[in-house]
Amino acid sequence: MAADSEVSGVDGGESGTVYQERADAHHLVHAHRLNRIISAILIVVVIGLVPWEVFLGMTLPSRFRANNWAFLWVGFDAILIAVLLYVAWAMWFRRQIMIAVAMVAGTLLMTDAYFDVVTSIGTKGEWVTLLTALGGEIPLGLVFYWVAWQVMKRSIAAFHLAMGGSGPPPKLRDAPLVFLQTNLAGRDSEPSKLHRTNGS
């Protein structure tokens, strides 16, 4: 067969490279398709949440006696402490996962500030929560967002340079998802390819 003769006409290294390239191409097509499916699902979920938000705004009472109030906030703060420790570890050892945990930490701080302020309005402690939110939680959350943004920008710039790109690297919002493929073990430890999943 023609396909067999073509495969037999190359040595083991070349045939392994061809096989690896085909496997990578199949993986990238699958990843691109999965991204589109998840994106479509999220759009449907967001559309469904709009009438749900309207329903909640019209039916929820302005006051509600909640159970397990202490456990709620102690548990939330325990999670926040754990995430902050993880961010500190990732920043100290310069780990790439710092991007994700910094975003999580910033979101937790913003959420903490939001609930503290909203639930304390009209109470004696509203000024304390406003001061802690404006003077601590919100600024620190913004710092974490800024750090994650800077690391992502520098990572994209490094990828752009590694691929021999000309001109400045793309902006963060315009940069496609990238996968850095390394050669098989025993052949080379340096990055060999940078695949994009933007459909092009």
Q: Which two tokens stand for residue 113?
A: 């500030």
pTM of the model: 0.71
Taking only the tens of pLDDT, the chain with its 200 residues reads 444 444 444 455 556 565 566 666 666 677 778 888 999 999 999 999 999 999 989 898 888 888 888 999 999 999 999 999 999 999 999 998 999 999 999 999 999 999 999 988 888 888 999 999 999 999 999 999 999 999 988 888 888 888 777 788 888 877 777 664 433 333 444 444 444 444 44
Is 74 part of a structural domain of the chain?
yes
Number of separate domains in the chain: 1
Q: Which two tokens stand for residue 75?
A: 């548990």
Is 156 part of a structural domain of the chain?
yes
C-alpha to C-alpha distances, 60 to 55, 56, 65, nearest whole angstrom:
8, 5, 12
Reported in sequence order, the residue ranges of 65-190 that DSSP labels E, i.e. its strands, are: 178-182
Q: What angle do CA 130, 88, 96 make, to 5 degrees?
A: 115
Is 51 part of a structural domain of the chain?
no
| 132 neighbors 109 (Cβ within 8 angstroms) | no
Domain containing residue 99:
70-165
Is 120 part of a structural domain of the chain?
yes
Is 193 part of a structural domain of the chain?
no
Is 151 part of a structural domain of the chain?
yes
Q: Which two tokens stand for residue 94?
A: 């310069």
Longest dimension (CA), the chain: 85
